[in-house]
Chain A
Amino acid sequence: MKHLSVAGKAVTLLFTAALLVACSGSDTREADEAAARAAADAAARSAQDAAAAEAAAEAAANQQRLDEAAAAVGNVFYFDFDSSTLKPEAISALNAHIAALQGNNRNVRLEGHTDERGTREYNMALGERRGNSVRDYMVANGIASYRIEVVSYGEERPIAYGSGESNWSQNRRVELK
């Protein structure tokens, strides 16, 4: 393209334009490929994210189910007179709480209580023994002991104020808080 006529110039221009177009077409392909790769990556990531989100949602839903199950069984476990042995219904309720606690990092406080019979200080010790009985079961089932605090109130915090077994049985308890 040493002797350029007007027409030649025009051709040249066209060619150049074509060339430019061709060149630009090559760039577009690379960009497309990059974009495709990016899109594929993004899609993969978003699929991963979606899967993770789905897993998280499932875990949250699962935890919610566990929390609801724990809430449904109540947070009070009852005991027989002068006993700190966990009853079967207390164990099944505790299992629900333990399942819920394994999925979160919540700390718990176990408040031990007794009925009004017997001396106040001995009952303070008995309330602690009941709290410890619940704590030991939780620790044996995988809840770290540092997450559990036991506080005994002895007979100082009755649920039912009256005397007689119908009141006393409501007061011999451990409350999980």
Chain B
Amino acid sequence: MRKLGAFLRLELKTIAEQTTPLYIALYLIALLLFVLTTQSVWMGVVVGILSAVTLVNYLFHVSEKNNMDALYPLLGLSRKDVVCGRCIFGFLLTVVVVTIVSFASFLLVAALDAMLPGLREMAEIDFSVPYASQLLFLLTTVVVTMGVLQLPIYFKMGYSRAKNIAIIIPSIIVLIFAGFMGFVMGANSVGDKLAAVNAFLDSPVFIVMCIAVLVFAALVSYRLSLKFYQSRDF
């Protein structure tokens, strides 16, 4: 447990260059402009997911650039410790970033609505607790699925060789996700479609499906990443 804590700290320090107050301020300005342009909480959430994925990618970039894969064994970390630690760190980072950005987007859209009423789509979205939890499930599933598909590629090929392949995967997933959300939003004007989607999102089948996908995705990602990373030399 102590070693995991130490490794998470190392990972956090590795991306520290991207988490300075200046970068965070710039990021929030960019987010504000994005939300202002799109007037949608959902687009803010999508940006949050992409940001988290970018930060995890950046972690691989910094560690490869500085040959830090050679540092981990010197610190007594086995390949398994590294893969396990990075999966946990990636997951925690993603959850934290998505939560913060979603909340910030919500506040920005709400503020926009107060200042410029009628501009945004927010009024049509019911932000009740059950709806928020459904979204959380859906978001988490999307985020972990990205991790599942990206992490093993990075562990196998390293950042430089994997970045072009790996960037396609989140793009596809985000497009599918955005398309799905667009469908839900579009269905708003067609009462029966929205009702059907809402009924599915409300059903236990959806929650069980999300959990099953999460567990399966996490296991597959971990096993593949470990297999690939164990066979690499640095």
Partners in one complex: no
What is A's interface to B at a CB cutoff of 8 Å? Answer: none
